[in-house]
Structure 1
């Protein structure tokens, strides 16, 4: 008998008929002798509806009250699901995060899980019940409801799997698994059978939207095998697991992109100690994340500082930096929102130095100019003009033959 955690997103429980279908699917696994913990998101569209209600009350809603409001979406899903299970002749119990309890910090609307009390869950499992838990939410030590932010139900599921020492955590979604590229723009994209935690962390951070990055980090930390698969088929999806020798021998596992990027340049900055801190500290204090940074020195006394931020933060960052530029006697601040970041990821890149140059050659052949480049052990990212995103993805996918069967690298490469 195995203990399995299954998570179903909003599109999987978007109607009462879909909830009934998920209940039947869960029961099929339960009937095989498995103990089941089911984590549900709110029904599709429900969280957005609740946010609109909040905005009708306050231009900037109070964050504590916002959590109280939007946490109700999952309460509806889990109660309906438990009813569906009982209607099929089996027993289930629905639990909110504060009933479990899933303890978080006090950062409302983007809380982080600190601890899970497993006693109540174990008691219900031992009594043969299917335990249905609200995703996306938690509770502080003083009893306030919190929410984990977008993608938080993935994090709830993996955290529960870790706390309960589950045999597997299955994330059900509307796609078959993790693909070598976005199937929407690359017809040759191929489903990946197995991918390492590190590769999935890179893909999630670079634009892939199938798994929340926090859930992958938790899975890696606690060694939770995560199975990403489709709610609407019985096919095997993608397993996110510890790295093995087969993965290490593969050249590139996937290509991803993000159009949620903007580039900012502060020109002719005095090249002096402490200047970078004066630039980036106000940005950090505003909660703006900076990604790629390039510094170009011209005559040894002045430098251009270029970096990327999320596109939603661009206007705020520009406002801050125009003020900073005056304070540090920089010449001007320029920006560009019509950019995208394209990345290749693979653990095999650690021992294969030619990957980056191949990527650069392919982009050059297609007439795609690289504005910025960033690398790590297992990824190479380039900032390019947004209009070339789809072309670049397809060209790189073909160049690295990601639509072919995985073939290990030759030993002499």
Structure 2
């Protein structure tokens, strides 16, 4: 008998009919003799609706109380699924994150899992129950409910699979796997049969919405095989695994893009020790995450510094950066949210020459200007004008012949 951890996202539990559908699927898995732990997200748009409801109370929304509120969405899904499975003569029990032993730090709204006490889960499995766990939540050292950030149910599932030594973690969603590009933009996009942990982590971090970045990080750290597949079909999905288990290494496996992007440019920054520390330590203290950073060549003892952040943080970041411009004696700054990031990802980049050059050629052929460039061993990212993002994705997909992946 094997243990399977299965996570169902909000679209999979968006209505009672859909809950009944996945209950039938879970019962089928259980009837094959496997132990099943299920992690669920909130129903459909419940989280957004709760946030909107909270906004009616005023502008000052305490993060602790927001966590108390938002955690109820997943609890609702878990209880409804347990009720349904029990009515299907499939013994089950629902647990909150803290009842399931999920511990976290105290960073409300974006907590990190620090450990899982699995005793309760294992005991329920021994009694023959399907264990249904509310995702996206944990318990802080102070005994407060915390939430793990958007997509946190993915992280819950992968962390549970690691701690319970599951055979596999199955992430059921509304798409059939990981595609070479967003199929809503590129109709020729192909589903990847396999992708490495490193590639998935890069793609998730760069805007691919099929898996939360921290879930990909957990999978890589603890060597958990993850399958991303559709809850609405029985077709095989995409297996996320270590590179050694993959049949071949493609130079480029996929195209990711991110519209949640804003950029700043600071002019005539003094070229002296401590300036970068002051700038980026201040932003970090304000919980503003910086992505791409570029510093120009020095001229007359000064240079320009440009960087990107998440667009949703722009309004909060503007007064912080304005204060920094004065503090570090820069001559001024500009900012904007009319940019986007497009990236190519592939484990095979490390052994293939000219991949970045091919990317730049494809963008140049489309008349697309590149504002910023960032690279890693398996990724090249370019910041471009947002209005060109669809053309860029399509051009790169053609350039690297991703429609021919089998």
TM over 0.5: yes
**Aligned residue number for residue 20 of structure 2:** 20
User: Quick check: 1:88 aligned with 2:88?
Assistant: yes
**Shift of residue 143, structure 1, vs aligned partner:** 2.5
**Aligned residue number for residue 232 of structure 2:** 232
CA 386–401 in structure 1, closer or farther in 2 if over 3 Å, else same: same
Report which stretch shifted further, 4-13 or 117-126.
Answer: 117-126
Report which stretch shifted further, 282-291 or 163-172.
Answer: 282-291
Give 3-state SS (helix, strand or coil) of 1:368's partner: coil
Partners of 2:291 and 2:300 in 1: how far apart? Answer: 25
Is contact 2:194–2:246 with CA below 8 Å preserved after alignment?
A: no
**Aligned residue number for residue 326 of structure 1:** 326
**Shift of residue 246, structure 1, vs aligned partner:** 4.6
Partners of 2:392 and 2:170 in 1: how far apart? Answer: 32
Report which stretch shifted further, 102-111 or 198-207.
Answer: 102-111
**Shift of residue 54, structure 1, vs aligned partner:** 2.0
Partners of 1:87 and 1:268 in 2: how far apart? Answer: 69
Is contact 2:271–2:298 with CA below 8 Å preserved after alignment?
A: no
Pairing of 1:162-181 with structure 2 (within 5 A): 162-181=162-181
**Aligned residue number for residue 373 of structure 1:** 373
Partners of 1:338 and 1:67 in 2: how far apart? Answer: 32
Give 3-state SS (helix, strand or coil) of 1:244's partner: helix
Partners of 2:220 and 2:355 in 1: how far apart? Answer: 26
Is contact 1:98–1:143 with CA below 8 Å preserved after alignment?
A: no
Pairing of 1:140-155 with structure 2 (within 5 A): 140-155=140-155
Q: Deviations over 1:147-166 (max 9, x none)?
A: 11111111111111111100
- Report the TM-score when normalising by structure 1: 0.95
**Shift of residue 140, structure 1, vs aligned partner:** 2.2
Give 3-state SS (helix, strand or coil) of 1:100's partner: coil
Give 3-state SS (helix, strand or coil) of 1:57's partner: coil
**Shift of residue 48, structure 1, vs aligned partner:** 1.8
Give 3-state SS (helix, strand or coil) of 1:395's partner: helix
Unaligned runs of 5+ in 2: none
Partners of 2:366 and 2:256 in 1: how far apart? Answer: 18
Give 3-state SS (helix, strand or coil) of 1:99's partner: coil
**Aligned residue number for residue 38 of structure 1:** 38
Which consecutive aligned stretches of 4+ in structure 1 deviate over 6 angstroms post-superposition?
Answer: none
Pairing of 1:71-82 with structure 2 (within 5 A): 71-82=71-82
**Shift of residue 146, structure 1, vs aligned partner:** 1.3
Is contact 2:196–2:246 with CA below 8 Å preserved after alignment?
A: no
Give 3-state SS (helix, strand or coil) of 1:93's partner: strand
Is contact 1:248–1:347 with CA below 8 Å preserved after alignment?
A: no
Q: Kindly tell me the number of residue pairs found equivalent between the two proteins.
A: 406
**Shift of residue 88, structure 1, vs aligned partner:** 1.1
Give 3-state SS (helix, strand or coil) of 1:229's partner: strand
Pairing of 1:300-315 with structure 2 (within 5 A): 300-315=300-315
Partners of 2:405 and 2:75 in 1: how far apart? Answer: 44
Is contact 2:258–2:342 with CA below 8 Å preserved after alignment?
A: yes
**Shift of residue 292, structure 1, vs aligned partner:** 1.1
**Shift of residue 182, structure 1, vs aligned partner:** 0.4
Unaligned runs of 5+ in 1: 407-413
**Shift of residue 298, structure 1, vs aligned partner:** 4.6
Partners of 1:121 and 1:281 in 2: how far apart? Answer: 41
Partners of 1:340 and 1:52 in 2: how far apart? Answer: 27
